[in-house]
Each structure stands twice: as structure tokens, then as C-alpha cells.
Amino acid sequence: MDKAILDTSIIIKWFLQEEDSDRALNLLDKIKNQSLEAITPSIVFLELTNALFFSGHPTLEATQKAIRDFSSLGLEIITPDIPLIEKTISQMFKWDIASYDALFITLAEEIKVPLITADKKHHKKRFSKWIKYLSD
């Protein structure tokens, strides 16, 4: 089974119609068919909630349902510990990026699996050999 870190720019496409949503939904199918083991840090819940809220997601109930639906998918959720956070801080200073963006990159480097992202602005390939764009 393949493994990958998925960032919020991928996961939001499961709930909102965006560019390359079809590719993101293909990843979701692989997760459901157990041909892809998806991993993501625990901050994904807050990032996903923000993305849904600021996209004009219709109601409180719909947003809560989306989070419950996401939670039920069984992705491996990693809660950052202090050593992982310290490595994340190093990435922040090295690349001048936000902690939440650096965390996804650090996690991919630590686990040594691709980070699949649709966020080319905050996850540039030069930051890590593990970054893979959804559009590739």
C-alpha cells in the first residue's frame, strides 16, 4: 500500500468544488479502497474548519458534518510532539514559511513519504524532495 502525507489543500477539495477536485477525489477513492494510507497532522481539523468557514460553507451543521465525515475516513492523524515541532521551527526559519506549512513538510521528511499538495505557493518543491503537486 502506498503512503502519503495529505495537506489541507487536498482535503478541502473533497468538500468543495475547486480546481483539480477530481484528482483529489481520486486520492479519496484510493483511501477508501485501502490502496493509499493517508497521513496528516492534527492541525488539519482546524485548517479544514477555517477553509470551510471562509469559503462560505452554508451552515454550522454542514461544517460540523464535513468535519465528522472527514474524521470517519480513518486517516492516520499525527499529533506533533516537541521534537517534531522543533524540526518544524527549523523549517520555518530555513524557508521563511508559516509553522503550519512547515509542519506538513517536516512530517513528510520524518516519515519519508510524499507530501501531496495543491498549494504551490507555500509548498515549493525546492523546500523538500518529498513535495509532490496534485497537478503533476
Closest CA relative to residue 136, chosen from 117, 108, 111? 117
pLDDT number for residue 47: 95
Q: Are 95 and 87 in contact (CB under 8 A)?
A: no
Domain residue ranges in the chain: 2-133
18: pLDDT strictly greater than 90: no
pTM: 0.88
What would the grid cell of residue 51 be?
Answer: 477553509
Name 26's Cβ contacts closer than 8 Å, sequence gap at least 6. none
Q: Are 36 and 30 in contact (CB under 8 A)?
A: yes
Decide which of 123 and 78 is more confident: 78
Q: Confidence band (pLDDT; 50, 70, 90) for 48? A: very high
Q: In the chain, pLDDT over 90 holds for what percent of residues?
A: 76
CATH code 3.40.50.1010 for 2-133 = yes
